Amino acid sequence: MKVGKVYLVGAGPGDPGLISEKGLQCLSQADVIIYDRLVDERLLGAAPLEAERIYVGKSTKEHTREQGEINQLLVEKARDGNTVVRLKGGDPFVLGRGGEEAEALADRSIPFEVVPGASSAVAVPAYAGIPVTHRNLASSFAVFTGHENTSQASSSIDWEKLTKGVDTLVFLMGMENLPIIVGKLLEYGRPPDTPVAVIKNGTQPEQKTIVGSLKDIEDKVREHRFGPPAVIVVGEVVRLRRKLRWFDNRPLFGKRILVTRAQHQANALNQLLSERGARPVELPVIDIQATANTKELDRAISNLEQYDWIVFTSVNGVSSFFQRLYELKLDARALKGLKIGVIGPATAKALEIRGIIPDYLPQVYTSQGFLAGLSRQDITGQQFLLPRADIADKELAEAISQLGAEVYEVVVYRTVPVATAIPQVKEMLLSREIDVITFTSSSTVSNLVALFNKEELAANNAKIACIGPKTADTAARVGLKVDIVASENTIPGLVTAIEKYFSKEA
């Protein structure tokens, strides 16, 4: 049997966005992934669904597998002909025992490659606003393991040389030995007022940083009950944090925000939240599916020339309508002669990528805004086609009818509830770990309440944020207290409204 290959891939220190393009490419081709405790599990989604995922994480008090077992596992999986990704936090060769794993593979003639990653020794201080070198403050830095066996008769670290010969000192995995580290640095000549930073959960939305000096950092760590994982930085560069901090002063930093949109639509909201420092927590409570019975839709498409207007109220409506159009061997030319209206810019963009510029987009992105502009046009006797969801209310259709037009609604997609809640999210809700619950449609409200019930949601004490007044009304009707309503009924508008809410609280 052909021997496989092992890729020792650095995943970076926590932020999944720090993995390299080559690292993601390796994951996409993996048959087996063997991953560590501090690897963000979202990275595992880059691998094929059928790939075997094996957790070998270690902590100070618990080792899922000893290092020798991990080495043997790499060898066995490769000998079985697999492409194996050994996914390691930080960089494989920086205090991560990647060198030992590479040796074990080399000794057994197993092909391997090393894909470097962003080391926590550099990346974590950078996310705290601390450069490890600076032209005016530090021309050198050194990285050390902080969990050296304290029972050794003599330390493997030359404390005197590093204290006097290196500007910036970075200790990884050193929280349990912080008193020893501080003691040695003071013993060998570092001044007591030397700045020290301790950074916990670096590069993640839970990142916390304590700044002190050698004389008081132990007290501050005890006061804030800091534990591992953390990076310790010693040196004058720590003083720059006051000016250069950027990651943990973003407007939504550290907020856990529940995203209830359908999974295939959540990316835009997740990205905007992440850019502002929040951690999106996905719980898709709806799924968008094509209508099971296309008879009415097909009839409408075959008679498009009888309509004067077609109005799209959502991206889903556009996608589903055009999908059926293509299935019938038609394209955008079938809409010739029709005026096309949309309610919001995202829906307009969905049409534009299909080569169609809407004739009418209201200034206010709501049904009321759409009707306000439409009322200034003479539409008496005109025929309107509204491709809608199966659960869409009649408000828009009835209002257009009152303006003198004839309206034909046709179902183009179904909004299907997702039956099972993710246990981890449910636990976070019940443990009050969610700061904001977002709703982007009335159906997301109804389905989330069905999954948890309003009492459980209220007990969480999270703020309720709605994309617009209609969604807010639905939330209020089921007994939820709405705290945030977007003034612009778009995903960016929703994120802006959440940001403004918390800026007022600050």
For the record, the structure tokens of 303 come out as 């008679």
435 is an active site residue: no
Q: Euclidean distance between the first and final Cα of the chain, in Å?
A: 63
Catalytic residue selected from 5, 15, 31, 36: 36
Runs of H (alpha helix) within 178-294: 178-187, 217-223, 241-244, 267-275
Single-letter code of the amino acid located at 78:
A
Q: Note if the bond before 229 is cis, omega within 30 degrees.
A: yes
DSSP classification of residue 63: B
For the record, the structure tokens of 195 come out as 């700045």
DSSP classification of residue 53: E
Cβ atoms 74, 113 nearer than 8 A: no
- Specify the DSSP element, H or E, that contains 452: helix 442-452
Rounded to 10 degrees, the C-alpha dihedral 398/400/404/406 comes to -80
* Cα dist from 433 to 19, 57, 106, whole Å: 27, 24, 46
Distance CA 237, CA 239 (A): 5
Distance CA 227, CA 367 (A): 52
Give φ, ψ of 92 to 5 degrees: -60, -30
Q: Which residues contact 49 (CB under 8 A, 6 or more apart)?
A: none
DSSP string, 356-393: ---SB--SS-SHHHHHHHHTTS--TT-EEEEEEETT--
Q: Which residues contact 230 (CB under 8 A, 6 or more apart)?
A: 174, 175, 198, 199, 200, 201, 202
* Cα dist from 155 to 104, 158, 169, whole Å: 27, 7, 16
36 is an active site residue: yes
Could you tell me the sign of the dihedral formed by the alpha carbons of 299, 301, 305, 308, in that order?
positive
Catalytic residue selected from 40, 173, 175, 255: 173
Catalytic residues: 36, 58, 173
